[in-house]
């Protein structure tokens, strides 16, 4: 079985990192290593990583740079990028390795909301699946990739937002990028806080502005002002 490195960027996400590392320690198949790249240089986060046997590294507060840094440190044949506020399928590593063994150079998981079920989820989850298949799946869908392919296409863009877009485009041009049916659960707290449709519209408007040429730095400022 190929070795696999998990890379987790974080920024003041101590509770989420703790919950994710605890879950990763109980997976049916364990990774070769877990690397947490902390843009807050938080000693509490460092202690949490030490508790669960994960590597902890400081970084500039830019998610694209954090992901690149983690990939450069990683020793695994496969890189799996996870956001701190996700919950993963118990046999996820087997699903990844099986996809790679069947010829995929990378792929992503099916987006599902983690939280009390409400009716907007029934519309948004299939819509996100459709957008991911014909557009760009984002980092909260647990993108995985063969390390060799990752660096061949240039890795993540060193941007604070939409850093996955050029990576996914490059991988699809290079080989088979596999959508998995297994879910990855994403914390729904932002949608609950902002309103399901308002949050979705804000995200789509940011994506449209990115497609039309707005800089990721400008969009990140807008995103964080909406989230504050």
- Whether residue 213 lies inside any domain: the answer is no
**CATH number of the domain to which 105 belongs:** 3.90.550.10
- Whether residue 219 lies inside any domain: the answer is no
- Whether residue 81 lies inside any domain: the answer is yes
pLDDT tens for residues 173-220?
Answer: 999 999 999 999 999 999 999 999 999 999 999 999 999 999 999 999
- Overall size of the chain counted in residues: 228
pLDDT tens for residues 50-91?
Answer: 999 999 999 999 999 999 999 999 999 999 999 999 999 999
In the sheet that 4-10 helps form, which strands lie side by side, from edge to edge? 55-58, 33-38, 4-10, 78-81, 144-146, 106-114, 177-187, 86-88
- Whether residue 207 lies inside any domain: the answer is no
- Whether residue 153 lies inside any domain: the answer is yes
pLDDT value at 227 more than 70: no
User: CA angle 31-84-19, nearest 5°?
Assistant: 75
Rounded-to-integer distance, Cα 141 and Cα 112, Å: 9
pTM exceeds cut of 0.75: yes
The backbone torsions φ and ψ at residue 213, rounded to the nearest 5 degrees and listed phi first, read: 110, 5
Catalogue the long-range contacts made by 192-196 (C-beta closer than 8 Å, 24 or more residues apart): 192/115, 194/226, 194/227, 196/118, 196/120, 196/124
Query: What pLDDT does residue 102 have?
Result: 97
- Whether residue 88 lies inside any domain: the answer is yes
Pairing of strands 78-81, 4-10: parallel
- Whether residue 43 lies inside any domain: the answer is yes
Range of the domain at 183: 4-192
Rounded-to-integer distance, Cα 153 and Cα 14, Å: 32
Rounded-to-integer distance, Cα 228 and Cα 220, Å: 12
Average pLDDT in the chain: 96
- Whether residue 199 lies inside any domain: the answer is no
Structural domains counted in the chain: 1
């Amino acid at each position: 079985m190929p070795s696999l490195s998990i890379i987790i960027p974080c920024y003041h996400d101590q509770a989420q990192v703790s919950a994710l590392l605890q879950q990763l320690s109980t997976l049916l198949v364990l990774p070769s290593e877990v690397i947490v790249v902390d843009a807050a240089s938080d000693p509490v986060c460092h202690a949490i990583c030490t508790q669960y046997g994960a590597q902890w590294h400081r970084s500039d507060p830019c998610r694209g740079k954090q992901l690149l840094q983690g990939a450069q440190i990683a020793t695994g044949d496969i890189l799996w990028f996870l956001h701190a506020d996700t919950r993963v399928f118990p046999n996820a590593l087997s699903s990844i390795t099986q996809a790679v063994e069947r010829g995929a150079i990378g792929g992503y998981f099916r987006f599902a909301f983690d939280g009390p079920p409400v009716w907007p989820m029934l519309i948004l989850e299939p819509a996100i699946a459709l957008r991911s298949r014909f557009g760009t799946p984002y980092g909260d869908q647990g993108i995985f990739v063969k390390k060799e392919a990752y660096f061949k296409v240039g890795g993540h863009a060193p941007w604070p937002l939409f850093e996955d877009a050029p990576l996914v485009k490059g991988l699809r041009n290079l080989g088979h990028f596999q959508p998995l049916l297994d879910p990855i659960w994403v914390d729904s707290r932002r949608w609950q806080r902002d309103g399901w449709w308002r949050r979705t519209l804000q995200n789509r408007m940011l994506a449209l502005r990115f497609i039309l040429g707005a800089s990721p730095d400008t969009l990140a400022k807008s995103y964080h002002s909406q989230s504050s």
